Amino acid sequence: MTSVNAQIKRGSAELAVLTLLAEHPLHGYEIAKQIEAQTGGVLCFDMASLYPMLHRLERKNWVKAEWKTLSNGRRRRCYRLTPSGRKQIAPLRAEWRAFFQALERVTGFQNA
């Protein structure tokens, strides 16, 4: 499994979470598991990185959290994307695309 630098992880984490939440609301554990599964374990969140980030996104009003009672009777704090958060996805994607294209031009990593 490839290990990814922490700085890159941090920068990409917001985009990954917002993209995931664009599909449907999820609670913290589900977010962590789904990102881990979808990236084959390259991006994996622990509690120390996931929740501060979710709370930061909440403060920015990009996501909104609310307690929901699941079918098994347990309460979970579910995060859903706000309209303002939805608007952030396209610029963030463009930013990352530009970053990878620039990196590709320098390193030619796609053809490597």
Partner 1 sequence: MPDWKQIVRKNLRVLRACSPELTEELAAHLEDSYEALLCEGMSPEVAFQRAMGPIEGRRRVWLVMRFLKEELMTRFIREAALPALLTSAAACFFHWALALDHVRSSVIWLVGGQLPLWWWCLLPIFGALGALLSRRKRGSRAQRIAASLVPSAIMGILILLLFAIGFTLSGLVNHFGSVSARVESLGVGPPGFVVIPAFFSLMGAGIAEVSTKKFGRLT
Summarize as ranges the residues that interact with partner 1 (CB under 8 A). 27-29, 32-33, 46-49, 51-52, 55-56, 59, 67, 74-77
CB of 16 to partner 1, least distance (A): 18
Residue of 28, 74, 32, 82 whose CA lies nearest to 55: 28
How near is the Cβ of 25 to partner 1 at its closest, in Å? Answer: 15
DSSP 25: -
Tell me the closest approach of the beta carbon of residue 87 to partner 1, in angstroms: 22
Report which DSSP code applies to 71. Answer: T
